[in-house]
Structure 1
Amino acid sequence: MHLVENPWVWAIHKTKENSCKRGHKKVYTHQDSCLLKALRLPLTQILTFGKIWKASLPKRLNNPLLSFYCTNNLFLFISFLSMKESIYYPSRDDPDSVEICYKHIKCLDPQTPLTSPVMNFYIRYLHQQASSSRATFHFFNTFFYNKLRNVVSEQKNNKKNPFDKLRRWWKGVHLLQKAYILIPVNDMFHWSLVIICIPDKEESQPIVLHLDSSGLHCSRSIFQNITSFLKEECCYLDHEAGLSDLPISGYWKYLCDHIEEKVLEVPQQKNHYDCGLFVLLFMERFIEEAPERLQKKDLAVFGRHWFKPEEASILRSKIRKLLMEKFRNESSKK
């Protein structure tokens, strides 16, 4: 590639040249349109792209766009501009798919709290991975708990049962047949995790676990909301659907009045921004290590030394890599 004084002129010339080869001056490929799109971007944005792609810009070249061309990064630059603005995981046809915008990847930068779209992407990813596990799981997204809390609050002053509308969140799913129900909690700019453990024997009882990497959330309030949720679901199944399909059907109404609540000792974050990563790590490790049905004796597995806090940074890189791969794959389908 020959150097020219004005890279903008070169880019326009190159785009027109490619179009002429196709027999018509007004015919442009997607690559051409991306190149023209680049010409309209401020130089500050182009420099940002250079940082993202770790492009080495020669100091002797003052024009950053020219530096991209001269350092053989044109393909990467165009690939970035060609990237889809949003994707759906696992697919757009999936009714439970998660939409992620490219801008959401920014929250995976160092020292940055995770946002709900990225949290929900990885929760959905873990859901896919858990399908091969011996235990059965149900994952709620990051918006469910706040909805549940509002419903519990409304229930006290509402003649109609607000839980009827909430039940749409798990339509078609027999929750109490699952071994575990995982609920991320977001409140006061902090994330924690609730895990509901469903027994399959009458001598056992439901256990609700609360995992918090900094102890900021009020466990008592969370337990009250979760208990109300379980009792309402038992009551609904007893009157509307029947409890006969549950692992210990005749015992469930009794069990809902004997739910054990446990605040787990877990690894603690050393900063104010890794709480979302810790919740995802709690989920990931729990899925890997949980028995088919959890009992009290199994709680010994957890503790402050369950994993090293530094693993949060590793997970941050892993999620970024996964998302970049998904965006590249979707963009290549254009």
Structure 2
Amino acid sequence: MFRHMMRTLGEERLVVVIILYCFWYHIYLNGSPKVMEWIKEKDIFSKTYTFVPIVDGGHWNLLILCNLRKSFNNNYSLCMILLHSFIISEPLKAEPTIRKFVKDLYHTQGKLASSRTIASILLLLPKVPQQRNGEECGVFTLYYIYLFLKSAPATFSFASYPYFVLF
């Protein structure tokens, strides 16, 4: 189903994005150093968007890293977007772990980034469709990827944000 959805978007939409394997973040949370080696091979700093499916405690949500390839000096377009289908579960409690993950991404790629610099990257939590029960979060995560890619500009900009939640 997911591959079919991606094919309907067209190749031009997919060249600006990298989608990480869905359990890499979970493996990272469990302390495996191998994950950063796998991510390094993806060359995430060459793309406009990096999609990080987050599976934590049996719940799925989506982290989108925007414009990591830009320098911190031009951080007006650097941001992280957390799309969460079950807002009741307090998604921002994961923020410290997300920021540590992003810092480790920079270090793995040989880029220096202090905790203060990583803290300066905006973490946005837009309103998105919400699940009705405890079993739909994975489907919503796939849906968010599709919606975002369907209308994502080649370079993320706050001028048109949040274009992807306008259904």
| TM-score in same-fold range (> 0.5) | yes
Q: Provide Cα deviations, 1:118-163, integer angstroms capped at 9, x if missing partner.
A: xxx7269638956432751111222112112222xxxxxxxxxx54
Higher share of residues assigned strand = 2
Among 107, 120, 125, the alignment partner of 1:235 is 107
1:139 paired to 2:19 = yes
Equivalent runs, 1:279-298 vs 2, <5 Å: 279-298=141-160
1:149 paired to 2:29 = yes
Aligned residue for 1:291, secondary structure, equals: coil
Question: Is the CA contact 2:22–2:52 (under 8 Å) kept in the aligned structure 1?
Answer: yes
Equivalent runs, 1:120-139 vs 2, <5 Å: 122=2, 126=6, 131-133=11-13, 136-139=16-19
Among 137, 142, 145, the alignment partner of 1:275 is 137
Cα distance in 1 for residues equivalent to 2:119 and 2:57:
30
Cα distance in 2 for residues equivalent to 1:171 and 1:208:
19
Higher share of residues assigned helix = 1
Cα distance in 2 for residues equivalent to 1:128 and 1:170:
26
1:253 alignment partner in structure 2: 113
* Deviation at residue 203 of structure 1 after TM alignment: 4.8
2:41 alignment partner in structure 1: 172
Structure 2 unpaired stretches of 5+: none
Question: Is the CA contact 1:210–1:262 (under 8 Å) kept in the aligned structure 2?
Answer: yes
Comparing 190-199 with 254-263, which one deviates more in the overlay?
254-263
For the aligned residue pairs, the C-alpha RMSD in angstroms reads 3.0
* Deviation at residue 282 of structure 1 after TM alignment: 0.6
Radius of gyration: which is bigger? 1
Cα distance in 1 for residues equivalent to 2:156 and 2:84:
19
Structure 1 unpaired stretches of 5+: 1-120, 152-161, 244-251, 308-334
2:96 alignment partner in structure 1: 224
* Deviation at residue 217 of structure 1 after TM alignment: 4.1
Give TM-score, length-normalised by structure 2: 0.77
Residues 231 and 128 of structure 1: CA distance in aligned 2, closer, same or farther (over 3 Å): farther
Cα distance in 2 for residues equivalent to 1:127 and 1:232:
32
Residues 180 and 301 of structure 1: CA distance in aligned 2, closer, same or farther (over 3 Å): same
Aligned residue for 2:13, secondary structure, equals: coil
Q: Which structure is richer in relative contact order (CA contacts within 8 A, separation 6 or more)? A: 2
Give TM-score, length-normalised by structure 1: 0.42
Count of matched residue pairs: 162
